[in-house]
Each structure stands twice: as C-alpha cells, then as structure tokens.
Amino acid sequence: MKKGLAILVLPVFILACSVEKKAQKSFKAGEFQEVIDTYKNVLAKNSNDATANYYIAESYRRSNRPKEAVEFYEKALSMGVKNDTIQLNYAYSLKSDGKYEEAKKQIDDYLRNVKDEELRKKANEQAEGLEMLDILKEKESFYRVKNLDLINTPNTEYSPVYMDGYLYFTSNRYSSKIYKTTGTGFTNLYRAATEGAVVDSTTIESLSEAINTVNINEGTLTFNPAGTIMVFARGNGKKRKDRSDVDLYLSRLRNGRWTAPQMIGTAVNDPNYWDSTPAFSRDGRTLYFASDRPGGFGGVDIYSARLSSRGRFSQARNLGPEINTAGNDMFPSISDDGHLYFASDGHPGFGGLDLFKVNRGGGRIEIENMGQPMNSPADDFGINLFKTDRGFFASNRDGGKGDDDIYTFLNQDPDLKVVNYYLAGTTVTPNENDSLLVLPNSTVKLLDYKNDEIDIIETGPDGRFLFRVYEHEHYTLVGSKKSQTERYLTTRLPYTTVGRAVDRTKLTEMVTNITYDTLLVLEKEEVNKVFVLENIYYDLDRWEIRPDAAIELDKLVTLLIDNPEIKIELSSHTDSRQTDAYNNRLSERRAKSAVDYLVTQGIDPTRLVARGYGESKPYKIRTSDGREIVLTENYIESKLDVDEREELHQLNRRTEFKILEITQSQIEFDEDRFFKNDGNKN
C-alpha cells in the first residue's frame, strides 16, 4: 500500500538500552529508512544486537514492509526483547509473509499473557482472521486479475481511479527526492488515457503543478460525478517532524484548469491526525475517507461527511463498528450499485490489507472478504470499479514489477445480477381546497430502522428527492422547511421495502434499477391550524389512554420533538348522545389524560393545553359534490343504516390538536450550526 500517506506513527516503546542518537531521532521523526540504514551498520559489527534488530523490524513494519521485518523480529525475540506489542507485531508480519501457522502460534501465546484490553481486542481479531483462513481459501471465486504492466514500473503505482476516459493514479516514478520514511521518492498524481482497462501508456502525464508539489506526497484522489471537484491527500512535507501532517485538499475545474488546492476545513480534516484515502459517493453528496483521529475503533477508521448544495461539508462521522475494527480500515470506494468497498487488516483476511465488500439488506450489514485472487498475503487495496463487473485495484503482492502495482480485475460470475433500489418522491403541501401543491426547496432526510440518518437532500424547485434504499428494510422520511418567510411542520413518513424485492432468478440483465415513488406531505405551520389525530379511541364512558391510543399519541410526541417551536392545545370531542354537562366532563378528562401521557413521554407541560369541548364542535365532512355537512345528531340519526350511523358518531368522538403559539427564536436557521463547519466553503 501507499508508503507515505497510509502509515501511522504509533506509540514508541523505547527499550531500556543505549541506541545511536541519530537512529532514535530518525525513528521519532518517522524517517524509518534512516533508522534501518543506521542500525544495519550496527548489525554489521554485531548481528546479535537486540536493540538494532528490534528497531529495524519496527521500521520495516511501520513503513509497510512487514515481510522484511520477520527475520529481525525473530532475532530480537530470541535475544530477549520484550514489550506489550512485539509478539503481536511479529505475528502480523508472519501473516503478511504467508506464514499462517507460525503467526497463529504467536497470537495464541500472546493472548495467554496480554492484559491491555485494546491490544487483546486487536489480537483476537487477528486470531479470528487466522481461524477463518481455511474457509476463505475454500470460497469459490469468479474473479480474474491481471497486472497492468503497461503502466507499472519498479517504483510504486497505486490508488487507481477511472474518470471520463482517463485512469488516474499515484506514483513516485519520476521523483528524484527521497522520502526518508520509506527510502523511496515522493509521490505525485498522474493520468493516462484508457478505454476500459486498455490503457494507452504513451499518454501518461503528470497532473499540473497546481496539484503536484516538490518534496511533498500527493496521494489518493477522487472526483465528484461531474468531474468538476477533485479531492486528494497531501502531506509528509519537511515542516513537520511527525507523519500526521496528511490532510485532504480540494480543487475545482474552472475553464479547463484545476484551481490551487485548498485544505478542507476541520469538519473533515483533523490537523493533528492523519486524514487520507478519499472517495466520493456516486451522487457526489458524500465524501468517504480514512483517519486515525481519536474516538474511533482502532488504528485507522473510515469516516463520511456530506457535501451540501452550498458546497460545505457536514461534520465527519465514523461509519461504526460493523465497518471499522481495532486494526486499520481505509481506502473506501463506492460502486455504481451502491456497495462500499474498502481495505482492512482487521477483518479476517489473508494478510496485510485485504479487499472487502459491504453487503446490506434486511437492516443488516455483512462484510465479505473478496477472496483469492483479489486478495493475497500482501497488501491489496485501492479498488475502483468502472463497470459492474470490472475495475482496478493495487497490490504489492509477489510477481509484480516492483513496489505497489496496479491490477485489473474481471468478475465472471455467471449469476451476477445487481438490483439497484431507489426511493423517489416529491415534497407537497395541501392548499385551501385540500389538493396537493409541490413544495420546493425543502430538506428531506432518510433514516434507517434505528432512526440513524442515512442521507439528506435539499430539494430544488420541483420538490423532488431521490434516495438509494435496500431490500427488506424499514425507513423513515423526515421532511422540513423552516425559514423567516415560510414555516412547515417537520413531518415523518414511514416507508418499507419489505416484501417488495424483485426475484433475481427471473432477471435477464446484469443491472436492474427499481424505483419506488411516494409523496411527503408537509402541513403549513400556522397559529390556530387544527389537526385531527387518527385512531384515538377510549372505552365507553372512560378516559384512560388505551394501548392503541398510545401508539397514535407517540406520533404526536415525535411531531412535538421535531417541532420544538410550537405550543399546542390538545382537545377532546364527544358525540351528542349524552347531556351537555356529561359530555363536557368526559371530554375534559380525556383531553387531560392525553396531555398527561405526552408529559410522561418527555414533552414540556408548558407547551400543552388540555381542552374538552364535549359535543359543541361537531365534525364537518365534505361530500363528493363539494357540499360541507355538519355531523349533528339529527343529521346522523336520519341515516337508516346502523353501522353508518355509528361510523359518523365516531367522527365526532375525535381528538385534535391546534397550534396556539409559534416561538420565533426557535425557528431561526443557524447555517453554521447546521453544517457544523468552521467556515470553510469548499
């Protein structure tokens, strides 16, 4: 994998022994090749120097050359070197060299003695991975891989990205300056014209000087779908003594030229930590990347941040423990069919970084190792699909041209059938005649069954929104629109794809797109506007809240939480088949019971007023010819059908809420707080 942008500076466990000042200084600065060269001179005089063997092993591993570290770890251990991690790191290096049985013995022994919980978690992940190897080896594979030898050199080529007939990649092929961490040249960004996987090597060219800089590593890059925004990693210069100075930069294509890159703000970058391996989603609304910042689940975790229509990034969020491990999880990539691919050394794999695919459905996430030959004991990473069944990736496996090489792959699975599910809709609002009008420029969120936000869209003049969804899952749409001139109640709409999946066995095409349609109705937020609560029923002559009524009142709880600026009157009504006094008392008790229930669910009682109207406000219905009829007792009893009479009486036995007040200060839109950014508008 990438030697300058994808390695962490881990805590240094300094042995209580004398070492060369030069080597220690270089080690602390992350100049690992300098350490290796210095201590190899020590070993030339004394091959049993424990300190020299240990630091050479650590330097090889930390500069991502674990195979070379094996013999030096073995020597250091035989000389009695002991600390919290040497045996774990030795096992990792053995696994990367394909020595699985030896690695398993080291891990088993390590687990008998390790006490640190984080290290134990990491060791357990490695143990589980080694146990899974036999299963992974048995997995049937339809992948075919090939070294892209026309583009590879004895130097490093990695992170291939296909865009508009060009293959972009990172390489140090022409660098004359040495990066002291790896002893190799600094990396720049290149491109070559290509038709699919057929690359014209005569067109290889470096990107402009606005992008590539001297004595600094430019790393993984990504483009938005239009190809007008490029985000890439840059860092490892001379100004910083550590190697956490890797950040994400953004450049825009204007008049055929890339603008001077600007570092993305702290909503995405953490200036004190390593941020790299970016990838845009296929719609360009989400940026995925990897970081070793605190608060994650291990070494490097994958994060995401949304890019708004205003060009601002939301606060980055961790993708969670289903994706991220105690190890390193990085190089995310999103395919056209919505699958997340990434590289990890924490999930069960063959050694080093393996390639994984995230499968989702039924509310569950399954992490799939892509198996051999996509994966090897070495590092396999940086996958990019340019079609459903083919793409590129990078690997430093045996048999390549030198360091990291770019490979092509083809999936020849005869049963490969991809179904893309989408939920499309329009935000609308009722007019005075109860017909629906398009509501433009609103915000729509998609939540999963746990009410975690999956995506967010700001609709345009047509009120349209489109989300990718998955089969056999429950969702909630949340629509909102609040400004100084227009206010609508934030509204939730459940939606499910359960039972709606197509039968893949009957599909004839490799790719099938299924789109569901819906309407999201947002009501105007106005003082004195009345809403009827459906299905709020009480037992005869009683006012206690029944379980079925509680279900409906819970929806009102959610509405009040989503709209903290409103104060409401909750009213209860009766039919006219008792005395006025009786009906008034009964309705007041029912209204108070409903309000009391809302308070028990956390609603501030100062936002609620209970009111019983008895039979004084009969329900009005509108007939098909436009006439409005008030459901008085005389009208109802004139009906001959008993069931119909009871149904009309039930309309009068209703519960409503009315907006009494709207607190202005609560609805002011704080843009900076919404985007949670630091002012950077990239």
Domain housing 577: 530-667
547-568 mean pLDDT:
89
Domain boundary among 411, 438, 469: 411
pLDDT tens string 284-295: 999 999 999 999
161-169 mean pLDDT:
96
Phi, psi (degrees; rounded to nearest 5) at 582: -65, -45
Q: Does 556 share its domain with 517?
A: no
Q: How confident is the model at residue 550 (pLDDT cuts 50, 70, 90)?
A: confident
DSSP letter for 328, please: B
Q: How confident is the model at residue 479 (pLDDT cuts 50, 70, 90)?
A: very high
CATH number at residue 257: 2.120.10.30
CATH number at residue 505: 2.60.40.10
- Residue 672 in domain: no
pLDDT at 163: 96
Structure pTM? Answer: 0.82
Q: How confident is the model at residue 635 (pLDDT cuts 50, 70, 90)?
A: low
Q: Does 182 share its domain with 86?
A: no
Torsion of CA 579, 580, 585, 590, to 10 degrees: 90
pLDDT tens string 321-361: 999 999 999 999 999 988 999 999 999 999 999 999 999 88
**Domains in the chain, number:** 4
pLDDT at 278 over 90: yes
Q: Does 206 share its domain with 306?
A: yes
pLDDT at 560: 95
pLDDT at 494: 96
Most confident listed range (134-138, 228-232, 503-507, 536-540) = 228-232
pLDDT tens string 560-588: 999 999 999 988 876 656 666 777 787 78
Is residue 448 helix, strand or coil? Answer: coil
Q: How confident is the model at residue 625 (pLDDT cuts 50, 70, 90)?
A: low
pLDDT at 12: 35
Between CA 135 and CA 145 the distance in angstroms is 21
DSSP letter for 79, please: T
pLDDT tens string 363-372: 889 999 999 9
The total of other beta-carbon atoms located within 10 Å of residue 535's CB is 12
- Residue 677 in domain: no
Q: Does 33 share its domain with 112?
A: yes
Q: What is the mean pLDDT of the chain?
A: 86
Phi, psi (degrees; rounded to nearest 5) at 444: -125, 130
- Residue 446 in domain: yes
Q: Does 256 share its domain with 399?
A: yes
pLDDT at 537 over 70: no
Q: How confident is the model at residue 629 (pLDDT cuts 50, 70, 90)?
A: low
pLDDT at 2: 44
- Residue 185 in domain: yes
pLDDT at 622 over 50: yes
pLDDT tens string 259-275: 999 999 999 999 899 99
177-204 mean pLDDT:
90
Q: How confident is the model at residue 9 (pLDDT cuts 50, 70, 90)?
A: very low
Structural contact between residues 91 and 66, judged by C-beta atoms closer than 8 angstroms: no
Q: Does 401 share its domain with 422?
A: no
pLDDT at 675 over 80: no
Element (H, E) at 595: helix 580-600
Q: Does 259 share its domain with 156?
A: yes
Between CA 205 and CA 201 the distance in angstroms is 9
CATH number at residue 103: 1.25.40.10
Considering only 100-109, 443-452, 475-484, 529-538, which range has the smallest mean pLDDT? Answer: 529-538
pLDDT tens string 204-220: 999 999 999 988 999 99
380-389 mean pLDDT:
96
pLDDT at 241 over 50: no
Question: Cα separations (Å) of 169 from 8, 72, 192, 489?
Answer: 22, 33, 9, 48
- Contacts for 48 with CB less than 8 Å, ≥ 6 apart: 75, 79
Q: Does 180 share its domain with 245?
A: yes
Between CA 447 and CA 479 the distance in angstroms is 11
Q: Does 501 share its domain with 438?
A: yes
Pairing outcome for strands 178-179 and 143-147? unpaired
Q: Does 500 share its domain with 543?
A: no
pLDDT tens string 414-445: 999 999 999 999 999 998 777 899 999 999 99
Q: Does 346 share its domain with 440?
A: no
Domain boundary among 476, 504, 521: 521
pLDDT at 11: 36
- Residue 634 in domain: yes
Domain boundary among 411, 444, 479: 411
